Chain A
Amino acid sequence: MMPSTPQDSLLERAPQLLRDLVTSHLPEPWRWFANSLIAMIVILAVFGLLFAALTLVERKVLGRVQNRPGPNRTGPFGLLQPIADGIKMLSKEDIVPRDADHILHFLAPVILLASTVMAFAVIPYGRHLVPVDLDAAVLYFFAVGATTELAVFMAGWSSHNKYSLLAAMRALAQLISYELPLLLSWVPVVMISGTLSTTGIVAAQSAWKWGWVPTWNVFTPWGFAGFAVFMVAALAESNRSPFDLPEAESELIAGHLTEYSGCKYVFFFMAEYFGMTALSGMAVTLFLGGWHAPLPSLEFIPSYAWFGAKLITLLVGFIWIRATFPRLRIDQLTRFAWKFLVPLALINLGTTAFWSLSFGWTGPLQLVRWAVAIVLVVVPFIVMGRRLSSGVAPRTYSYAT
């Protein structure tokens, strides 16, 4: 009964029913306002809690990778650690340097957090769960995300501190460099889906090939390449290791966070995790089929659970990468963006164009289509990967042997 009409199952409609339970008492003109308010509160609550859990998971996983148990003093298995952290951070003194630009110094964390929270508005979390269904949702998402660069530079400039300013310059160089591959990597999805709406993109990935293989974008050659470029650029955009140069503590103390303490520091910290979560959510929407189940027989599990599972998988991947790789140097970072990721993303546009043009090919031509697309993805990767490291690796040292 349920698999035939999964969209009507009780669990699927539970969020809607709960909301209507509250807002149905209101007069009609007020209802949309109350609905939006509830959506905002739910987003802040869910992603706030996810942020808290993520800090704990990150520290636990990093600990396990480094052969130690991680935080385990606060509560059973250290589960209350995020609460203790929160109390500690919020009760700390808020220090503003005397020479700082007080208004900008205050505004930077606020704008940063606001812009990352705004990005959550257009992600479809489930079949019936999209806070704002915009026509140009993807464009909106990345436009809002670009505001974070402004906020980071505001923080660096207003702190009146050489480390903050240097870090802000670095952050700008990094964020603008990686903005380009990030934007180019999702253009193929729009080319194939023919829409900028996130719900439309998810709907375009809803079919099953041969009745059981999901037609997610990541299972095509151009989609896989786009997904890889997107995730690398997302790592850099959210200032995560190995691209966490703006806060390279061995060089720049804490970078643009140097002069921030207490609640404002928490805002920056939250913004980093919110940005990471939003970009992962967008990656799920664009490439991993959004809220769709991976198998038709698993559709009885509500769609928001599938979205959550995919999101958490990507976030754990972020943590795994942080636990593994050392930080890049600034020249390596920019070279990697301009000489590798941007050309790859551009070539991927061509691959997608071929894929789009060969849409009608059938029979053995299908195999030709796949082979050509795979060659178009793999060969540039190998060739440019060789060129990227030629003359640079392996390193020779003048004094060390």
Chain B
Amino acid sequence: MLGSGLLQGLAVTAKNFVGSFHDPKRLTTVEYPEKRTVLPEAYRNFPFLVSEKAEDPMGTLRCVACQICEKECPPQCIYIEKSKDKKPDATGKMQIYPAVFLIDSSVCMNCQICVEVCPFDAIKMDQVFEIATQERFHALLLDREQLAKPNSYFHSIRPSEAAEVDGRLAAERKVAEEKAKAAALAKAAAQAKPVAPKTEPAPGAASPKPQNPA
């Protein structure tokens, strides 16, 4: 009969209206600046540089200025200048570090390729989306001071991935330490008796190696 469809439609809207007062499914809007949704762990936005210690972010950057990300970046928004001197990195090895590390966030397309190619777990995707600025050019060009965020922050936004990275780095560090110890022993032994063969320490250092990162 004419009009039955109209009545059905009216019933649908009435149900929505009444439901919006008691049923959260019928009032899905989150009043954003006051209330926020919990971002999923895999949510990603602009990249940031991981540093080990919050007190000394520039001294403990994981980045070794290898420039792989700079070369891989599809929109070429990364610019790196290598340092002249060296500093011990996360695994204690002496490494160069980025004297200049710039990301133009107006160019960055959040593709995560820099994160995937980084062999040092030094660059990770952030979850910050409120990046509006008053100025179009310099304010959107982020330098290494702005990009550096401590590992604890990485743990807070993406706990499972951060734990996995930390475990891997700790294992590598252990391996490197043992290697260094063995090398020092071998060196001492070689100095003590130059005749003795150095076959003994090498397998001991090689056997507990869990994986080879580089």
A263 within 8 A of B: no
| Total CB contacts across the A-B interface at under 8 A | 49
Contact A320:B2 (CB < 8 A) given known A67-B20, A67-B26, A67-B29? no
Q: How far is the CA of A66 from the CA of B26 in the complex (A)?
A: 8
- A325 cross-chain contacts in B, Cβ below 8 A: 6, 9
User: A68 near B1 (CB under 8 angstroms)?
Assistant: no
User: A324 near B3 (CB under 8 angstroms)?
Assistant: no
Contact A382:B9 (CB < 8 A) given known A64-B27, A69-B27, A69-B31? no
From the candidates A66, A68, A320, A386, name the one contacting B10 in the complex (CB within 8 A): A320
Min CB gap B29→A, angstroms: 4
B28 within 8 A of A: yes
User: A321 near B26 (CB under 8 angstroms)?
Assistant: no
CB 8 Å contact bits of B69-89 with A (1 = contact, 0 = none): 000000000000000000000
A219 within 8 A of B: no
User: A61 near B17 (CB under 8 angstroms)?
Assistant: yes
We find that the number of chain B residues with CB closer than 8 angstroms to chain A is 18
- A65 cross-chain contacts in B, Cβ below 8 A: 13, 16-17, 20
Q: How far is the CA of A64 from the CA of B17 in the complex (A)?
A: 5
User: B1 near A382 (CB under 8 angstroms)?
Assistant: yes
Min CB gap B158→A, angstroms: 31
Q: How far is the CA of A64 from the CA of B27 in the complex (A)?
A: 7
B12 within 8 A of A: yes
Min CB gap B183→A, angstroms: 66
**Closest residue of B by beta carbon distance from A317:** B10
- A106 cross-chain contacts in B, Cβ below 8 A: none
A72 within 8 A of B: yes
B188 within 8 A of A: no
A323 within 8 A of B: yes
Q: How far is the CA of A376 from the CA of B14 in the complex (A)?
A: 31
Min CB gap A349→B, angstroms: 21
- B16 cross-chain contacts in A, Cβ below 8 A: 64-67
Q: How far is the CA of A65 from the CA of B21 in the complex (A)?
A: 11
Which residues 1-55 of B sit at the A interface, judged by CB distance below 8 A? 1-3, 6, 9-10, 12-14, 16-17, 20-21, 26-29, 31
User: B13 near A323 (CB under 8 angstroms)?
Assistant: yes
Min CB gap A110→B, angstroms: 36
User: A321 near B10 (CB under 8 angstroms)?
Assistant: yes
**Closest residue of A by beta carbon distance from B27:** A67
Q: How far is the CA of A262 from the CA of B21 in the complex (A)?
A: 35
A and B contact pairs by CB, cutoff 8 A, 12 listed = A64-B16, A66-B16, A67-B20, A67-B28, A69-B20, A69-B27, A320-B13, A321-B10, A323-B17, A324-B13, A325-B9, A381-B2
B interface residues, Cβ below 8 angstroms from A = 1-3, 6, 9-10, 12-14, 16-17, 20-21, 26-29, 31
A69-B20, A69-B27, A320-B17 provided; 20 other pairs, C-beta below 8 A? Answer: A61-B17, A64-B16, A64-B20, A65-B13, A65-B20, A66-B16, A67-B26, A67-B27, A67-B29, A68-B29, A69-B29, A72-B31, A320-B10, A324-B6, A324-B10, A384-B2, A385-B2, A385-B3, A386-B2, A389-B2
